[in-house]
Amino acid sequence: MAFPAHILLLNVYFAPHSYGGATVVAEAVARELAARHGCRITAISSMNRPDLPAYTVMKAESGGIANYMINLPDGRPYADRYDSPAVTELAAGLIDDLAPDLVHAHCLQEIGIGALDIAHRRGLKVVLSVHDFWWLCEYQFMIRPNGEYCGQYPVRIEDCRGCASNMARARLRFERLGQAAAKADLVTFPSRFARDLSVASGFREDTARVWENGVTLPGPDFAARQAARRAADPRLVFGYLGGPSQIKGWPLIRAAFERLEREDFAGLLVDASLDGTWWKGVEISKMRGDWHIHPRFGQAGIDDFYAKIDALLFPSQWKETFGLTIREAASRGIRVIQTDSGGTTEWPGADPAHMLPIGSDPGPLRAEILRVLDAPNAHPAPLEVVGYAAQADAFADMVAGVDGKGTGDQ
């Protein structure tokens, strides 16, 4: 098909109300598609405003992109969080009024899958971009209620009995989401791991493609800023962005640094919460080194943060779909200490010989920390990674390969 003149983008959040890595990607690619390929982008997203009536639609605009936000009330039934009749009716009206050429769906949690059905019935082409495991797991990230990674490969709904609080409704959700995803003309995944697990778990193989996420690349003065900081303070600085979460490896980090016998380094723990409460009451005084809490930052502050660190800690305890911060760090010459955690390993500088196994004790992480500390000036060269402009161009190429216009239900 010719590149669409008007793309309708669906995501749970969108500017001016943004949260989460997938939203960053959706927004950045949308801006690049508009700038580089001249298309119009319109978004449908959600909001939660107790001061407004339920299912009110509010229009906002950011960076030239109109965003229709649907006000979703608290306390909605389980099924409405993935297939809401009220949201579907609103989406149908917006699709008819806006008349897009293509629907590009990202994260649909809370919004639900109804808009995909409507687009299909209207004969519109649909691209679905999967960013997490919401389509396979009612807990979204394949994390069990006890905080451990599920580990199913492939995912079989009959093996979810140990987690599902209501197996009948979990099965219905799994089947309904699978039916909706099967109607997409193209389904993209940010890594081979995410694609292969999803296909093994029931996604159509013929429409599944790897579409690697981009990142915000370093600015032209980043290297100078980084060198100036290192010259002013030669101590090696570790950085961690995952929050005080077991599944992100925080207990492992704390234990490893508590058992070190040296103090010649510093560390930054980023508080990415919206209200600055992630690290309140979390004990860090026993960790060796000079540790501080770093405030939340947006895309404009990425260079400011990475210029302050030399090694990124990424001991994730689950199989993730991508690993945005790893690519951000690698593009800036920051060393990475990571686990063998799914799609996070698919970057140009990944070193299997030094990846930590998921579920290990603090020993292997401590050894990697010491290896970095023993070579404080062995800073790697920045790696070439995909930026958002290249990601948008790749999307344009993929869409051009989708022939014709959708036919909808016959």
Query: Cα 285 from chain centroid?
Result: 31
pLDDT of residue 26: 96
In the predicted model, is pLDDT for residue 407 greater than 60?
Answer: no
- Note the pLDDT tens digit of each residue in 246-284: 999 999 999 999 999 999 999 999 998 878 899 999 999
pLDDT of residue 406: 42
pTM of the predicted structure, to 2 decimals: 0.93
- Note the pLDDT tens digit of each residue in 160-171: 999 998 999 999
Identity of the amino acid at 260: L
- Note the pLDDT tens digit of each residue in 318-357: 999 999 999 999 999 999 999 999 999 999 999 999 999 9
Query: Cα 323 from chain centroid?
Result: 8
6-10, strands of its sheet edge to edge: 57-62, 65-71, 40-47, 6-10, 102-105, 125-129, 186-189, 208-210
Which among 113, 109, 193, 107 has a CA at the least distance from the CA of 154?
193
In the predicted model, is pLDDT for residue 404 greater than 50?
Answer: no
Mean of all residue pLDDT scores within the chain: 94
Please give the Cα distance from 53 to 269 (Å, whole number): 39
Q: Quick one: pLDDT band at residue 402, thresholds 50, 70, 90?
A: confident
Region 172-200: what's the mean pLDDT?
97
265-271, strands of its sheet edge to edge: 290-295, 265-271, 236-240, 311-314, 335-338
Please give the Cα distance from 105 to 127 (Å, whole number): 6
Which among 136, 119, 104, 117 has a CA at the least distance from the CA of 14?
104
Contacts from 33-40 at CB under 8 Å and sequence distance 24+?
33/7, 33/392, 33/395, 33/396, 34/64, 34/65, 36/389, 36/392, 36/393, 36/396, 37/3, 37/392, 37/396, 39/3, 39/4, 39/5, 39/6, 39/7, 40/5, 40/6, 40/7
Tokens 């026993």 -> residue: 286
Q: Quick one: pLDDT band at residue 410, thresholds 50, 70, 90?
A: very low
Q: Give alpha helix (H) positions in 38-79.
A: none
pLDDT of residue 269: 98
List beta partners, residue 58.
Answer: 69
Which among 5, 2, 42 has a CA at the least distance from the CA of 26?
42
Which value, in Å, is the radius of gyration of the alpha carbons in the chain? 22
Question: 167 with 161: CB under 8 angstroms?
Answer: yes
Tokens 């979703």 -> residue: 72
